[in-house]
A and B are shown apart, each in its own frame.
Chain A
Amino acid sequence: MKAEPRTVLRFLLEYFDIIKDLFDTQTKDNIITYEVMNEITSKHKMDVKIQLLEYKIISNVAENYQFRPVFASLIEFILSEFKPMLPETIEKYHVSIGELFRKIRENINGDKVILNQRITELSNEINNFYESVEKNTLALLNETRELKANVKKVDYREKIIRASRWIDEYIIPLNKILDLNHSTSLTTKLYEVSEYTNRYRLNFDDESTRIQFEKLYFSLIQVNDNLLRQSKILTNELLPLIERIRTESIILTGWINFLKAPHKKKVPKILESKRNYIYSKDTFFNAAEFFDAFKNDVDVFIEDEEYEDEKWIFDKQLYKDKLKDNLPVTDFFKWCNKTLKEDYKKVEIEKFFALTSLAFDDDLQLEYPVKAEFDKIKINDLTLTVPKITINNHGIS
């Protein structure tokens, strides 16, 4: 008995929660076992098994159940929960599209009804192909993002295995199908169909066929654009993302492994930086190199400095005798200054101090006034304040 379409749709709406649970089970296990069916219907307290079978939403597989493909696709599409398809499944369109295209070309002047039918079917196959690609890209992106977030706490080794599988079995083959630079790819085939269609949409004697070609042509423009976008998603987003997951997981697995026994593993070679010890065999050469760097090949002449004035040497005996001859000297420091001025044009302070050192001679007897008296003596620019000292006699009195 065929169910009324609105009844089926209303049923889907009303019991969507149960249907979704059943669909999730099938996605996970590929089948809905008899026990799980009972479990889910009991959970929702609604036994809808009979209607599901009656409306041809599910079918029996031995004692178990499975969604019919058309409903599986519908629910998958509504939920946007696609399962990645193996590219081999998509590759089948290469055959169907190629075959239809070949027949169109070979029978372009044949039966117009069949020709139009082939063009329509070619258009459907191309749309189906595109949908499969889009679903697959979306499915792979979802799976990859989930693996990246690692909500399910997949361990590192499993991550490496999954990422490698997706790259090798899904992404790279899918990319080959979409590769425009590859002469045998499906995308290249579609461009070929597009060129052919373009020619006949403008130049064909039967109008209805021209219109069919026209529709196919514009549909192909859209599909080719979309395929290009999918291809970009694959190469620019999906592949780097999944490669990154794989690399990260490999490195982390390596480190965890290393940390299990860090002192037993061989480590990479790092050059030992050199320290130069004084007793090192290289020291002689290093020193030679150092001196070489400062070696000056140009002859250097050093001229002796010429002194304008000869160095003055204090003749103590001469001045001691002069002092004795002048005794008694009432003001010793004034006498020193006066004597030097008589002997030299210019009296330097060193000469003055040298002469005053006579005051410490043991042979001379110094006398000081009861109350200290001071004089000022000017030697060049320097004014010295000196005490008044009298020398009356010499020798020990």
Chain B
Amino acid sequence: MEYPKNHRKIVDELMNGKFILPIEQHYEVLKENEEFYADFFKVSFNYDLKFTQHYAYLVSDESAEMLSRDMCIFFALLSYELDRDGKNFLERIQYTEFELDEIENYFANSSYIDLILSNKQLKDTDARKNFINTLNRRNIVEKIGDNRILFTSAHKFFMDFAADIVKFENVNE
């Protein structure tokens, strides 16, 4: 049987919890073979392939819940602090680079300081640096040099989650 091009890369990255992005060559391969890969992951591992115009990734019940929660807290705090600072948070996260110092400043001076201090991955500068490396490994941020980052289109995954909170609340109300 002949497998699609970049098969191993696609499988490796998705199985490692990485987001595959439209700017990457193997996203196109995945797009062209979406049905095959959806079946492949379902039959082989019982994982669901989620494919959108902004990212592709795998969903399973073996979820890294702690990490996902920390990521949500990170995005929630950053969005909140940017908005409080009078910035269009969505445009900033979507289109512009961040200096790590800027993010550091938002977290260090946040009114959610109790929540930050109680979180192992976000509690101090070193922890936050490591956390950003984790985001980088998952393809959620792109590192530009040592001191700058750019959020990839995978950030929409978390923004959609935030929007769903409001939608589901309205449904339940």
Instruction: Provide the residues of chain B in CB contact with A244, threshold 8 Å.
Output: 90
Which listed segment binds A: B28-36, B61-69, B95-103, B142-150?
B61-69
Decide if B14 touches A271 in the complex (CB within 8 Å): yes
Given known pairs A247-B90, A250-B166, A274-B15, the reply for A268 and B80 (CB within 8 Å) is no
- In the bound complex, how far is the Cα of B83 from the Cα of A254, in angstroms? 13
Out of A250, A259, A272, name the residue touching B73 (CB < 8 Å). A259
- In the bound complex, how far is the Cα of B65 from the Cα of A263, in angstroms? 10
Render B159-173 as a binary contact track against A, CB cut-off 8 A, 1 for contact.
101111111010000
Decide if B90 touches A251 in the complex (CB within 8 Å): yes
Q: Is B105 an interface residue, CB under 8 A from the partner?
A: no
- In the bound complex, how far is the Cα of B15 from the Cα of A320, in angstroms? 75
Main secondary structure of the interface of A (DSSP, over half): helix
Render A237-256 as a binary contact track against B, CB cut-off 8 A, 1 for contact.
00000001001101111111
Instruction: Provide the residues of chain A in CB contact with B71, threshold 8 Å.
Output: 270
Decide if A254 touches B162 in the complex (CB within 8 Å): yes
Decide if A259 touches B112 in the complex (CB within 8 Å): yes
- In the bound complex, how far is the Cα of B68 from the Cα of A267, in angstroms? 6
Q: Is B108 an interface residue, CB under 8 A from the partner?
A: no
CB distance from A163 to the nearest CB of B (A): 13
Instruction: Provide the residues of chain B in CB contact with A263, threshold 8 Å.
Output: 69
Decide if A269 touches B59 in the complex (CB within 8 Å): yes
Instruction: Provide the residues of chain A in CB contact with B90, threshold 8 Å.
Output: 244, 247-248, 251
Closest B residue, CB atoms, query A148: B88
Decide if B115 touches A265 in the complex (CB within 8 Å): no
Instruction: Provide the residues of chain B in CB contact with A248, threshold 8 Å.
Output: 83, 88-90
Closest B residue, CB atoms, query A262: B73
Q: Is A385 an interface residue, CB under 8 A from the partner?
A: no
Q: Which of A257, A267, A270 is the most central at the interface, judged by chain B CB atoms within 10 Å of its CB?
A: A270
Closest A residue, CB atoms, query B134: A273
Instruction: Provide the residues of chain A in CB contact with B167, threshold 8 Å.
Output: 250
Q: Is B58 an interface residue, CB under 8 A from the partner?
A: yes
- In the bound complex, how far is the Cα of B163 from the Cα of A242, in angstroms? 16
Q: Is A258 an interface residue, CB under 8 A from the partner?
A: yes
Render B39-61 as a binary contact track against A, CB cut-off 8 A, 1 for contact.
00000000100000000011111
- In the bound complex, how far is the Cα of B75 from the Cα of A254, in angstroms? 11
Main secondary structure of the interface of B (DSSP, over half): helix
- In the bound complex, how far is the Cα of B14 from the Cα of A262, in angstroms? 27
A-B contact count (CB 8 A): 110
Out of A251, A267, A271, A273, name the residue touching B159 (CB < 8 Å). A251
Decide if B68 touches A250 in the complex (CB within 8 Å): no
Instruction: Provide the residues of chain A in CB contact with B59, threshold 8 Å.
Output: 269, 271
- In the bound complex, how far is the Cα of B137 from the Cα of A274, in angstroms? 13
Q: Which of B14, B58, B165 is the most central at the interface, judged by chain A CB atoms within 10 Å of its CB?
A: B165
Question: What interface size band does chain A fall in?
Answer: 20 to 34
Instruction: Provide the residues of chain A in CB contact with B60, threshold 8 Å.
Output: 269, 271-272
Decide if A251 touches B162 in the complex (CB within 8 Å): yes
Closest A residue, CB atoms, query B88: A248
Out of A255, A268, A271, name the residue touching B47 (CB < 8 Å). A271
CB distance from B66 to the nearest CB of A (A): 9
Instruction: Provide the residues of chain B in CB contact with A250, threshold 8 Å.
Output: 162-163, 166-167
CB distance from B52 to the nearest CB of A (A): 13
Decide if A259 touches B115 in the complex (CB within 8 Å): yes
- In the bound complex, how far is the Cα of B161 from the Cα of A255, in angstroms? 9
Render A148-164 as a binary contact track against B, CB cut-off 8 A, 1 for contact.
00000000000010000
Q: Is B77 an interface residue, CB under 8 A from the partner?
A: yes
Instruction: Provide the residues of chain A in CB contact with B62, threshold 8 Å.
Output: 271-272
- In the bound complex, how far is the Cα of B98 from the Cα of A179, in angstroms? 42
- In the bound complex, how far is the Cα of B75 from the Cα of A273, in angstroms? 21
Decide if A252 touches B68 in the complex (CB within 8 Å): no
Q: Which A residues between 204 and 225 are near B, CB-CB below 8 angstroms? A: none
- In the bound complex, how far is the Cα of B62 from the Cα of A274, in angstroms? 10
Closest B residue, CB atoms, query A258: B76
- In the bound complex, how far is the Cα of B159 from the Cα of A306, in angstroms? 73
Instruction: Provide the residues of chain A in CB contact with B83, threshold 8 Å.
Output: 248, 252
- In the bound complex, how far is the Cα of B138 from the Cα of A241, in angstroms? 31
Decide if B64 touches A270 in the complex (CB within 8 Å): yes
A residues at B contact (CB < 8 Å): 160, 244, 247-248, 250-259, 262-263, 265, 267-274
B residues at A contact (CB < 8 Å): 14-17, 47, 57-65, 67-69, 71-73, 75-77, 79-80, 83, 88-90, 112, 115, 137-138, 157-159, 161-167, 169
- 10 A-B residue pairs with Cβ-Cβ distance under 8 Å, sorted by A, are A244-B90, A248-B88, A250-B163, A251-B162, A253-B166, A255-B162, A267-B72, A270-B68, A272-B62, A274-B16
